[in-house]
Structure 1
């Protein structure tokens, strides 16, 4: 499969080179490549082609009267980040009035106009008018259209390009494109191969991700293996029991909390090993996690009944003021207790603690925290 995909990729690459002197064929080919989800294979070729088109427009060397061509070219260039003028659509209006009603029957042109209108810049009234005009006539025409044109219109109206997920959109577009009379069979075959290969890759990645917890055990020091496996076994049992009550979603919150605290422990270990002294703000952003109060809160929620709703888990995960305040107080109290560097350092920590306590009591922590001694 991979060998055939490579052959097809090379043929599509040649096609891009062969249409350089055929503007309409070139923009239609680029559009199809992008919508079929294989544009990432030809990023340089597409970027170069669109830059060439943009320079042609600036020099006044390109002029078309076809709505589909003008709208598609405009969208492709704006999508690439080129500053093209929306004045190209003036020719499709009655002077300073509305868009010409004769365009209502040009369905492909309206689809291209509708897609182009979503790349509006603030103040471009003509593109706002284009969107309203295209939307109105596409919705009116939709019940009377046959496939694949009806599918193309419906997809455009339901999934505007700027709101769509590329891989999801490409799956829909493949099924539409294969019904079109003017389809490029080589490009279509390549898109199908590429989609299936990526699906296989993503499925393999998901399998690997789902196995990370067990496979990582052998990478841990012996002293940690027993604890880690015991933790995994406990979580697996929780998940099995909660699944019976349709509450297994709680485990994802718990796993995320364990991942967060593990990453924060790693940061503290790097600071210690490198001798790095973080600023007060840096330290607290990590220490509020490693003190463990957010994790303990989520752990306690897991075993609760219906009172622990999904909203409650979301609340705890967001580090609300209550958990943050408790974490700040106990983190600094623990630091004061464990500090063995001398009375001056202890006094410094005590002063910081007083500042934090006053900040929490007053309800305005940000101002008082800035007064915390920088050596703490």
Structure 2
């Protein structure tokens, strides 16, 4: 058995000493578009090898729910209609920007406008104006917030925290009684309770008042949800299901557009702008998808590797969850390609490959040399060349556009991912159950969040810095924290299916084995760790000014945690998508709003 992989300590769950920085191995490939081709005879061997091998496991994954031939031609938005609406869109944008910039709105009205803009999916269009308005409100409206309603005070706090402003939760002290408890009188204010509930999820570690607010509002919202009018009940149930701060932006925008039109105080101009913009952005997604579909078909991996999950559409949806801004097509391309390859390789390591084959593939990835292909079985040669060509191609784009050679860090993060995959395969092969910390130290890498974020960084960041590259190489908390949420959310949803196919190593089983506690108690512990991770990520929002990363990348990293919660909320929507999962994808990528 290969020696157990040791990762550098991230300061999150253990106190292992941090090794000295390792120099990347020398660059072995000139960066250009001349990727290495897979010979036709090799492709035939890859497809026939399944019949020659013995005793291969299968997870019996369902085939793709989507027809790739149809997706190549997918254009559900009427381009001519969008062009006609372009003039109206620009005019409405200007109207909204003028209202934000002229400062004539009362503070509470301005807060509610900013909240509506972001919930309707328009926040990316008004970042500068929103930031300027909130900076002014932070100073001019603090006293008014302290003296205002529970709703206004909560909205003031939440929006400032969401946008990276340093504000303390002492603004909520006025809603407590002489015993330090939240006043019972505010429990009758449904709107105020909802706003306080949403604000409580922006807390940091140690902010007990926000923990108390979350507990108080959760209890009272559950008590009143069946006693309020239907529209209020819908909003309460939606919030209790998952708070706004942990939701995927585009899904929330779609839902908000529909619910906003039913509200009694609709800003019709804002609603019209939101609808036009949603369909315009969706058209961008469809063009992105067409290109990615052609790439995926060209790899032939879905045709040749029948044991692996064919999940291009789900991977693209994940990429939208991380980078929804229409200008971030490059990020969506990088994340989709990365996640698609991760999915295939995960099935190679978890399901199909023998331990000897997996050790060879891992060693080949560490070499990052096309000559390494000669030591691999035929089906792995396809995987290796797809990985090799795709990553080098993405690195070429970065070199061409930004003058930075990123091959060393890209091959490092891929090698670390595959070593983590190998560690899990060794555990399973040896029927070894690691300790909880031992599992999580490895799993925060094997979940692939770090790989996706590194690729996303180079695809979207305009000014790549040495400090940022160093932070990426050493797995900054901004990579680790969302990866922890990703891993734990996955385990909460898919542990039963994994156990049924013999994969007994996950956070729940490791915690139960180590502590002797029940599955219910283990799940409760995992949920608490997810909460802790979000609190640490909330702190990253405030630290953005001193971060080595641009604010947009901080948002992308937190979005990784959000899309993970979404995809594992009702099961494993990536591995085993159900009707709900397919409808969510269609609502963002396929079906325009009316």
Query: Aligning the two structures, in what range does the TM-score lie when normalised by the shorter sequence?
Result: 0.5 to 0.7
- State the 1:133 CA deviation: 1.0
How far, CA to CA, are the matches of 2:94 and 2:234 in structure 1?
30
- State the 1:297 CA deviation: 7.2
How far, CA to CA, are the matches of 2:202 and 2:239 in structure 1?
14
| Alpha-carbon spacing, 1:55–1:213, altered in 2? closer, same or farther (3 Å) | same
2:241 is matched with which residue? 158
SS of 2:179 mapped into structure 1:
coil
Matched, 1:51 2:135: yes
1:207 is matched with which residue? 290
SS of 2:136 mapped into structure 1:
helix
How far, CA to CA, are the matches of 1:212 and 1:51 in structure 2?
44
Superposition pairs of residues 222-371 of structure 1, within 5 angstroms: 232=300, 235=301, 237-238=303-304, 242=306, 247=307, 249=309, 256=341, 286-288=366-368, 290=370, 291-292=372-373, 296=377, 299=380, 320=422
How far, CA to CA, are the matches of 2:215 and 2:86 in structure 1?
45
2:99 to 15, 36, 51: 15
Are the aligned partners of 1:142 and 1:153 in contact in 2 as well (CA < 8 Å)?
yes
1:195 to 242, 260, 278: 278
Q: How many residues align?
A: 266
How far, CA to CA, are the matches of 2:134 and 2:146 in structure 1?
16
- State the 1:295 CA deviation: 6.3
- Per-residue CA distance 1:245-284 (angstroms, 9 max, x = gap): xx46269799738x99xxxxxxxxxxxxxxxxxxxxxx99
How far, CA to CA, are the matches of 2:293 and 2:287 in structure 1?
10
Are the aligned partners of 1:56 and 1:62 in contact in 2 as well (CA < 8 Å)?
no
Unaligned residue ranges in structure 1 (runs of 5+): 215-228, 261-282, 303-314, 325-376
| Alpha-carbon spacing, 1:84–1:293, altered in 2? closer, same or farther (3 Å) | farther
Over aligned residues, Cα RMSD in angstroms?
Answer: 3.7
Matched, 1:140 2:206: no
Structure 1 stretch 27-36 or stretch 290-299: which is displaced more?
290-299
- Per-residue CA distance 1:162-203 (angstroms, 9 max, x = gap): 321111111111222111101211111111111111111101
Are the aligned partners of 1:294 and 1:316 in contact in 2 as well (CA < 8 Å)?
no
- State the 1:132 CA deviation: 0.9
2:171 is matched with which residue? 88
How far, CA to CA, are the matches of 1:293 and 1:152 in structure 2?
58
Q: Tell me the TM-score normalized by structure 2.
A: 0.40
- State the 1:124 CA deviation: 1.7
- State the 1:57 CA deviation: 5.5
Are the aligned partners of 2:146 and 2:171 in contact in 1 as well (CA < 8 Å)?
no
- State the 1:26 CA deviation: 0.2
1:98 to 173, 181, 184: 181
Are the aligned partners of 1:316 and 1:323 in contact in 2 as well (CA < 8 Å)?
no
Matched, 1:129 2:212: yes
Are the aligned partners of 1:254 and 1:298 in contact in 2 as well (CA < 8 Å)?
no
2:151 is matched with which residue? 68
- Per-residue CA distance 1:104-158 (angstroms, 9 max, x = gap): 1211111110011111122222111111111111111111222332222122112
- Per-residue CA distance 1:57-85 (angstroms, 9 max, x = gap): 67x57642310000100111111222212
How far, CA to CA, are the matches of 1:78 and 1:9 in structure 2?
25
| Alpha-carbon spacing, 1:211–1:99, altered in 2? closer, same or farther (3 Å) | same
- The structure that is helix-richer by fraction is 1
Greater RCO between the two (CA within 8 Å, min separation 6)?
Answer: 2
Unaligned residue ranges in structure 2 (runs of 5+): 1-84, 313-337, 346-362, 384-416, 427-594
After the TM superposition, which parts of structure 1 deviate over 3 Å for at least 4 consecutive aligned residues? 17-21, 60-63, 235-239, 250-255, 283-286, 293-302, 315-319, 321-324
Q: Tell me the TM-score normalized by structure 1.
A: 0.61
How far, CA to CA, are the matches of 1:105 and 1:56 in structure 2?
29
Are the aligned partners of 2:89 and 2:276 in contact in 1 as well (CA < 8 Å)?
yes
Are the aligned partners of 1:152 and 1:176 in contact in 2 as well (CA < 8 Å)?
no
How far, CA to CA, are the matches of 1:23 and 1:292 in structure 2?
64
How far, CA to CA, are the matches of 1:23 and 1:104 in structure 2?
25
